[in-house]
Amino acid sequence: MKKSIMTVAAVACVAVFALCGCKQSGTISKGCTLFGVDSLSYCLGANIGYGVSAEMVEIPFDYERVEKGMTEGALETAKQTQEEAIDLLRDYFVNKLRERRAHNEELAADSLAVGEPLPMFASEGECDSISYAFGNDIGCNLRASKLPLKMASVIKGFSQARQGEANLDEVAVRDYLQNYFTVVRPAQEAEKSAAWLERQARKSGVEKTESGLLYKVINAGDMEKAATDDRDVVKVHYTGRTIEGKVFDTSIFENRTKEQQQMMREHRPDLFDEDGNIKSNEPIEFPLNRVIKGWTEGMKLIGPGGKIVLYIPSSLAYGSRGAGNEIGPNAALEFEVELLEVTRFEEPAAEGETTPAE
């Protein structure tokens, strides 16, 4: 997916998420809580509003259109895709706005220059379209954050902060978000993951290692050829899921989300035949000392031809830092893995020695 070129994603969303280094799981709803404000949503919206005020004060957006775009982008009701929004914003900020600023700077620097200053928007229609695209991009980034947000409160915080009327100043907003992302949310995720692991441990056939790894062997495979060294290389097909059951990574096309499948079709058309079907699912190959601890341990429990389900606590996965858009701090994970091949590690010959073949 194309990245936002400037917009509030850089000013606000990225600034917020940088506090914790990860994004969380949740849902976005239209309504808001008692007294009309959800604290997290309000503070996140205010943070975006403060960012816009500081970085984009010269651009006369139609903020009703911005807020409409934010809401519809977050709730997936926008008729414009995020990529379409980004294309409009890229053309405006990289080309049109840059040219207009350069023209106006030249006029200001040269008293003899001929011409009138150019407005930031050439027409009301351009203002409408860019304002909506700007908001839509923000809303799509909010949705991608997986935070449990209420858009009415996000918009309220955004509007009040932008107008200098927020209930909290910029420092207080950042302090709230810092505490939420580094203390509150990780604790919530740890509690959820612990409860989930307890439920998996009670399932038939699930066993537990000394490290805390839970696993269920579906097929043991050829244990005589099982990996024994962390430097062994394995070739696998796998599917990784969050504790909510959402696929975040897989080598099997059919297991990907519809959005992920569509992105693959758009960006890797060479992988599909004339009928749009995937030509083949390519397995993944890697040494065991290059993956999370739960994988390193789990792949030694079966041999080639085997299949296993791993229920991995966060201490054996990505810990308190999380990973990417889908894996939050302290998140337990589930992996279903089919082990295809194991290549045993061989110590390289010492300098001056020869191998038996030589």
DSSP per position, 217-238 = EEE---GGG---STT-EEEEEE
Residue extents of the structural domains in the chain: 7-168, 191-343
Closest alpha carbon to 59 in 33, 18, 98: 98
Site of tokens 């908001």:
135
Long-range contacts of 205-209 (CB under 8 A, 24+ apart): 206/311, 209/297
Site of tokens 């601890």:
293
pLDDT digits (tens, 9 = 90+) for 15-71: 333 333 333 345 666 655 544 568 999 999 999 999 999 999 899 999 999 999 999
CATH no., domain 191-343: 3.10.50.40
**What's the pLDDT score for residue 34?**
41
**What's the pLDDT score for residue 5?**
45
pLDDT digits (tens, 9 = 90+) for 211-246: 999 999 999 999 999 999 999 999 999 999 999 998
DSSP 8-state secondary structure symbol assigned to residue 118: P
For CA atoms 89, 91, 95, 99, the dihedral sign is negative
pTM of the model: 0.74
Numbers of helices and strands, H then E, in the chain: 12, 9
Q: 207: how many CB neighbours lie within 10 A of its CB? A: 11
Over 60: is that where the pLDDT of 102 sits?
A: yes
Closest alpha carbon to 218 in 336, 45, 318, 97: 336
pLDDT digits (tens, 9 = 90+) for 262-275: 888 888 888 888 88
Give the helix ranges, DSSP H, for the chain.
Answer: 7-8, 14-18, 39-55, 63-74, 82-90, 97-109, 124-144, 151-162, 170-179, 185-201, 258-267, 293-298
Site of tokens 């993956």:
291
